[in-house]
Structure 1
Amino acid sequence: MTFGMQGKDIRRHLEDISPSAMSRIFKRLRLHGIIERVQGTYKYFTTAYGKEVIAAGLTVRNLVLIPALA
């Protein structure tokens, strides 16, 4: 069983993103501490801080944005 994500896994869902653009996105996420790379692989994991950021974003979407659009 493998865990983590790779650029090719993400690009399957986002067909408009080139491999180089995906690398730049991953680099920005790493610099902000949202994901970290597994040494010696091309796999990335969400950090504890990244999970907090995702949870906050989902909360804003669910409690603010979606009701505002209704």
Structure 2
Amino acid sequence: MIGGGRIQLKGWQQAAVAVGSAVGALLDPRRADLIAALGETTGKHAFERVVERMKKSPEGRVGLSLSISL
């Protein structure tokens, strides 16, 4: 897809991509595309938790304000 479009997946589709990419990455760790797909499908909740923890610490708030000002 030219232009970097994004396709919304249903929950079961996202789970299927996560399981398939995890198995494929375990079988062949050189497959960066599978590792990226796994991160894309499973990383949202972890990212949100990291941001919340950063907001609670003085150092994290500084880091977040620096990334926003760039």
TM-score, normalisation: structure 1: 0.31
Greater percentage in helix: 2
* Greater Cα radius of gyration, structure 1 or 2: 2
